[in-house]
């Protein structure tokens, strides 16, 4: 198809990469983002080989590399700090590193700049009020009183998707999994040139983010889903590290800034059945919100964007494109959600402890498969 007008709801990773991929194919794209400040957490994210491949296809890989920190190995440590394995990350694009770490604000800037350069119109502080699909397009009214008509609406509005509620009111909500993640940035030390991950029941590790920074992630069981006040958060995170591997606990002594701690209860959700209805479709966390144990949530959202744009360009009806998209994405995303959750359940004693190096190797193999 050609000349489609497309509304993307949500200016996060999936929304912006969709805007890029759709804009590159000549579609007219509006993006609405409900957060007027468009704020993102100040920590980072791991982008694996399949993401390197996907952002190369989007044409933003050089910006990514410049804004982040590329590496080719994952170093896996035992809880006694001994190196258990140095797993090479297979490059899927020969001239670029296998993986990279990148700060979320830097990532957002890379994607937003490119989305605008590809022609996307981005409006902040706006959300959808109503959708009216008449089988040939969708009339949309917005929270700022404006309205528009689109050939396609893409719901990329994240885990707590309003679009999912509008399209699939019976879909259910994401569920808290009993575990939370803590993250904190540090100046990068010279020994952190790869991702470091620990085996055992405590999910902990370090990721280089740039030449200047790296971040620590730590998952902890939080069965009662407590709400910690901001004041004192650094002390609480330090306390959570009391049983951590010695190297991590020692580094943790530098956690002193309450505002630098990013604490996030973890939820999981997979939308069974169709991810589309009429001329509207869900992508990213709105359709398949995973816990971060395999570091693939954003990767799946970015792959969704590429596949959706390819199918909309290559098919002769919206319905055929949506069906083909779902066929290519459903099982791959389900696997990531389920395998990530299994690691989580093992860590908190609600399931068998998953062999983490094996699970990582399986994920790398699965996500290396063509899209």
Ligand X SMILES: Cc1cc2nc3c(=O)[nH]c(=O)nc-3n(C[C@H](O)[C@H](O)[C@H](O)COP(=O)(O)OP(=O)(O)OC[C@H]3O[C@@H](n4cnc5c(N)ncnc54)[C@H](O)[C@@H]3O)c2cc1C
Closest contact distance (angstroms) between CB of 182 and ligand X is: 9
Closest contact distance (angstroms) between CB of 317 and ligand X is: 25
Q: Report 242-301 residues binding ligand X (CB under 6 A).
A: 264, 284-286, 292, 295-299, 301
Q: DSSP string covering 139-195, please?
A: EEEETTS-EEEESEEEE---TT-HHHHHH-TTS---EEEEEEEEEEEEEPPTT-SSE
Nearer to ligand X, 320 or 371 (CB): 371
Element (H or E) spanning 309, and its range?
helix 297-314
Closest contact distance (angstroms) between CB of 13 and ligand X is: 4
Q: What span, in angstroms and rounded, lies between the C-alpha atoms of 87 and 94?
A: 17
| Residue with tokens 């490119």, as numbered in its chain | 114
Determine how many CB atoms are found less than 10 A away from the CB of residue 142: 18
Judged by CB under 6 A, does residue 129 bind ligand X?
no
Stretch that binds ligand X, among 81-89, 150-158, 245-253, 306-314 (CB under 6 A): 150-158
C-alpha torsion sign, points 190, 193, 199, 201: positive
**Using an 8 Å Cβ cutoff, are 22 and 307 in contact?**
no
Closest contact distance (angstroms) between CB of 180 and ligand X is: 9
Binding mask 40-79 for ligand X (x = CB under 6 A): -----xx---------------------------------
Judged by CB under 6 A, does residue 158 bind ligand X?
yes
Nearer to ligand X, 251 or 294 (CB): 294
- How does DSSP classify residue 90? P
Stretch that binds ligand X, among 30-38, 67-75, 170-178, 318-326 (CB under 6 A): 30-38
Nearer to ligand X, 149 or 264 (CB): 264
Element (H or E) spanning 265, and its range?
strand 262-270
C-alpha torsion sign, points 115, 275, 124, 147: positive
Nearer to ligand X, 2 or 203 (CB): 203
Q: What span, in angstroms and rounded, lies between the C-alpha atoms of 8 and 299?
A: 18
Structure tokens at 321: 């494109």
Closest contact distance (angstroms) between CB of 197 and ligand X is: 11
Judged by CB under 6 A, does residue 116 bind ligand X?
no
Strands 175-187 and 213-221: antiparallel
Maximal CA-CA distance, the chain: 62
Which of 24, 127, 201, 368 is in the footprint of ligand X by CB under 6 A? 127
Helix, strand, coil abundance in the chain, percent, nearest 5: 35, 30, 35
Q: Report 161-190 residues binding ligand X (CB under 6 A).
A: 162, 181
Which residue is closest to ligand X by CB?
A: 12
Closest contact distance (angstroms) between CB of 311 and ligand X is: 18
Nearer to ligand X, 163 or 250 (CB): 163
Binding site residues, ligand X, CB under 6 A: 9-15, 32-35, 45-46, 127, 156-158, 162, 181, 264, 284-286, 292, 295-299, 301
């Amino acid at each position: 198809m050609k000349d489609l007008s497309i509304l993307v709801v949500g200016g996060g990773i999936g929304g912006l990469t969709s805007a890029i991929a759709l804009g590159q194919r000549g579609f007219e794209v509006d993006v609405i983002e409900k957060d007027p400040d468009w704020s993102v957490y100040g920590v980072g994210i791991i982008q694996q080989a399949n993401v390197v491949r996907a952002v190369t296809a989007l044409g933003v890989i050089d910006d990514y590399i410049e804004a982040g920190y590329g590496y080719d190995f994952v170093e896996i440590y035992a809880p006694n700090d001994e190196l258990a394995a140095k797993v090479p990350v297979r490059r899927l694009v020969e001239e670029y590193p296998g993986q990279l770490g990148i700060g979320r604000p830097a990532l957002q800037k890379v994607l937003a700049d490119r989305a605008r350069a590809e022609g996307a119109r981005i409006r902040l502080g706006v959300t959808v009020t109503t959708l009216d699909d008449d089988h040939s397009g969708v009339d949309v009214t917005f929270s700022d009183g404006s309205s528009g008509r689109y050939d396609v609406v893409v719901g990329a509005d994240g885990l707590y998707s309003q679009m999912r509620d509008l399209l699939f009111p019976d879909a259910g909500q994401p569920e808290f999994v009993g575990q939370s993640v803590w993250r904190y940035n540090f100046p990068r030390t010279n020994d952190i040139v790869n991702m470091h991950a620990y085996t055992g029941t405590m999910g902990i590790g370090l990721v280089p983010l740039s030449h200047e920074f790296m971040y620590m992630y730590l998952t902890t069981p939080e069965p009662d889903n407590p709400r910690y006040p901001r004041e004192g958060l650094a002390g609480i995170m330090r306390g959570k590290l009391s049983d951590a591997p010695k190297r991590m606990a020692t580094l943790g002594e530098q956690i002193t800034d309450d505002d630098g701690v990013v604490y996030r209860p973890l939820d999981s959700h997979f939308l069974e059945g169709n991810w589309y209805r009429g001329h509207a479709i869900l992508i990213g966390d709105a359709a398949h919100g995973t816990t971060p144990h395999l570091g693939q949530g954003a990767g799946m959202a970015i792959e969704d964007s590429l596949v959706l744009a390819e199918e909309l360009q290559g098919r002769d009806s919206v319905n055929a494109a949506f069906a083909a998209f779902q066929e290519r994405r459903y099982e791959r995303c389900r696997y990531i959600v389920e395998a990530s959750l299994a690691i989580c359940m093992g860590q908190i004693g609600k399931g068998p402890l998953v062999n983490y190096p094996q699970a990582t190797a399986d994920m790398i193999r699965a996500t290396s498969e063509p899209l």
